[in-house]
Chains A and B, each alone.
Chain A
């Protein structure tokens, strides 16, 4: 092949042929050395030994219907237990006759999340939609305005987990960004407060923060003033996650070249404009993987609210296990809960990959 550049013929060589097909792939990836061939064979044997028993337990020998727990103990899993307790695990102690409200809440959450998935939807409208969505969720959960009231102590199951996680993220993220900016502030007082806060919170386990919010905080409040237990736990989660997110965001801020700030300054942008239009978009795009990592761990950490007697998804499942008619189905309950948690986390991880692709457009050549 030849290519003409400036009238001079240049020889262009085709790239060497790549081996293709299943055999080519196997050879290149699984059997490319003696050691790797042995590893491949060992791994295949291990998988072959493990898969059939799991399938037998989960599907073939599983019991799908049973009148009670005693009739459900066999060689396989007792999915009848999940069927029996599904309602309770998902919705917990929320009044049964009001359950439709929780179904709608979950649907609204899923819609809100779906709307946030497309980068094109980001903007003022989405923020308004989220505000309306969250308001509707609180109205549906708490009642009032025509709906019977349900006190927060009865909120439980999947809706509670989603509220703690989503509201936690929605507030912890901007809080973390502010903390990160504060930590890099030129004002010594602001910087000192932010550093002190971050170091303090990061040095304590989440359980401690939850305990403090739930048990110690009321001691400091004037008599007669009470803050709802759920609100206290939610605030504890936000305060805790904020400190972690702040350090992640700070990592991104530090990676922004000085020249970006100088160029923005030289154009006459104010600090707020510069931060919002130039610094944060680049800094946040850079730290999407650790941010999502943090969100995932935050989502799962909400299950710790069980220690302050809130019954989230995991708490409701644990509670379901105490039924004397259905005893000893820990594995089934844990597998079921794990699948739900995993689905959400897997979704978050895919979402972050999409965002990364989206934000890295500018870096493609």
Chain B
């Protein structure tokens, strides 16, 4: 993949991972430049979540090299924490902290990790709540919000750390259909502002709109990568064709 958009923000070189004897990631190579948007898709169990979770070390790779924002990911806790400060992540299950209010969820990491003064953290938090269009929910607890609202809070929570990179791990898969759009809208806006993004998603409409590069994974391998135009109209691999025909059938 080209680095035409700018310096490489994420580099995976010959990354392998096993769960016991099961080879989940096989020789993954991926370069994501600054401002680039990569959408990863593939059948369930193909290793796409595992791959994205390796980027901020929620999963450990066993072979190969991962460099994120210029920092190499090793067992060194300092490096891991440094990378996590620069990489935001949005999960399928939102994973908001249910014992804290929305505002507290947003302020937690800036205050404790970035050591921002509370006042500044609150201003940032309120700014991003406005951005994800739920400024009036600041004092509520996550359990009082709808799924779509919770996921938007989760995005805002990541953004409050002012990350260089955002990772999305199936951000809309746990949402009711009528709430998917409100989350995707926020993600499209973010993409348009030049955020470097890696998204695991099956929202092909979203992929067509924002992706610079599509990556198709199957059985732990990157089977195909191409700009969305070529990927959707002219997939090369049989496996990609089969997958696309299944998810685009209706």
* Residues on A facing B (Cβ under 8 Å): 257, 259-260, 262-270, 273, 277-278, 281-282, 285, 359, 361-365
Contacts and interface: CB of A to CB of B under 8 A. Distances in A.
Given A268-B161, A269-B113, A273-B113, A260 B95 contact: yes
Residue picked from B99, B144, B157, most chain A C-beta under 10 Å: B99
Interface of B: 56-58, 81, 84-85, 87-89, 91, 93, 95-101, 108-109, 112-113, 141-144, 154, 157-158, 161
A260 B56 CA distance: 15
A263 B99 contact: no
B243 to A, nearest CB: 27
Given A268-B84, A364-B143, A364-B144, A262 B112 contact: no
A365 B161 contact: no
Contact of B84 (A267, A281, A361, A365): A267
Given A265-B84, A266-B84, A364-B144, A259 B93 contact: yes
Contact of A362 (B91, B93, B113, B142): B142
Contacts of A361: 141
B109 A269 contact: yes
Nearest to B83: A268
Given A262-B58, A263-B91, A267-B108, 5 more contacts: A263-B97, A266-B158, A267-B157, A362-B99, A362-B100
A268 B85 contact: yes
Contacts of B95: 257, 259-260, 262-263
A265 B158 CA distance: 12
Contacts of A363: 98, 141, 143
Contact of A266 (B87, B93, B108, B141): B87
Nearest to B92: A259
Contact of A282 (B81, B87, B99): B99
Contacts of A270: 81
B112 A277 contact: yes
Nearest to B81: A268
A268 B113 contact: yes
Contacts of B143: 362-365
B98 A266 contact: no
A264 B88 CA distance: 11
Contacts of A266: 56, 58, 84, 87-89, 91, 158
Contacts of B154: 263
A364 B84 CA distance: 32
A273 B91 contact: no
Contact of B112 (A269, A364, A365): A269
B91 A260 contact: no
Residue picked from B87, B113, B157, most chain A C-beta under 10 Å: B113
A273 B109 CA distance: 10
B164 to A, nearest CB: 13
Given A260-B95, A265-B58, A277-B108, A362 B161 contact: no
